[in-house]
Structure 1
Amino acid sequence: MNWFVAKVVYQIISGEGNHAPQFDEQLRLISATSKADAWKKANDIGEEGQYAFQNQQHQKVEWKFINVPEIYPISELKDGMELYSRIEEPGNVADYLAWLRTKSSQWNTPSPLAFLPS
């Protein structure tokens, strides 16, 4: 068996969908014999992962499976290896850095971003 990282994408739809479009991009670790088998397995995971519920406003909130757009083979598992990378181009750098600081603060460890200028 071989290891792969698959990106599984869902669209999040609340109510009638009259909101800013939202997509949940999940990275899944897949064990498979080939890239094609990994895609099939990731696709099955995506299909099975669809769900819906009623929110507090009694609106349907749905995770709708879209597709598996990317599969990456992993030749070996080792500490600190890069699994995925995406370049961000934020409209507002200060807001983006503030968001990163907020997200990293939940780990209760000093963030290298804490030393960046606001």
Structure 2
Amino acid sequence: MHWFVAKVVYQIICGEGNHTPQFDEQLRLISAVTKKDACDKAREIGMQEQYAFKNQQQELVQWKFINVPEVYTLDQLTDGMELYSRIEEPGDPNSYIAWLQMKSAQLQGQQYFELNV
């Protein structure tokens, strides 16, 4: 068996879909014999984990599986190894950096809370 990282992509559709298109790109760790097996397994996961629910406005929100566009072989797992990289080109770099700093602060606060509970 080998380890693979597969990108599983869902489209998020709210109501009739009259909104800014949203896609959720998930990285999944897959154990499989071959890259093809890993791709098939990731597609199966993507299909099985589609779901829908009603939001507070009673609109249907769907996570629709699109496909698995990328699968990478992990030759060996090592501490700190890079699993994925994506270059962002935000319209407002300062807002993007502020958002990243806020998310990091929330994560650190959550970790502090978990340690003290």
- Shorter-chain TM-score above 0.5: yes
1:35-85 Cα deviation digits (max 9, x unpaired): 000000000000001000011111000000000000000000111000000
Letter in 2 for 1:57: Q
How many residues are paired up? 109
1:1-118 pair list within 5 angstroms? 1-108=1-108
Q: Secondary structure at the match of 2:101?
A: helix
Q: Secondary structure at the match of 1:76?
A: coil
Q: Secondary structure at the match of 1:106?
A: helix
Question: How far did 1:26 drift?
Answer: 0.2
Instruction: Tell me, in whole angstroms, the C-alpha distance in 1 between the residues paired with 2:8 and 2:78.
Output: 23
Question: How far did 1:90 drift?
Answer: 1.0
Which range moves more in the overlay, 87-96 or 33-42? Answer: 87-96
Question: How far did 1:108 drift?
Answer: 2.1
Instruction: Tell me, in whole angstroms, the C-alpha distance in 2 between the residues paired with 1:11 and 1:101.
Output: 26
TM-score by length of 1: 0.90
Moved beyond 3 Å, runs of 4+: none
Question: How far did 1:89 drift?
Answer: 1.0
Instruction: Tell me, in whole angstroms, the C-alpha distance in 1 between the residues paired with 2:60 and 2:12.
Output: 10
Instruction: Name the structure where helix makes up a greater proportion of residues.
Output: 2
Question: How far did 1:6 drift?
Answer: 0.1
Letter in 2 for 1:101: Q
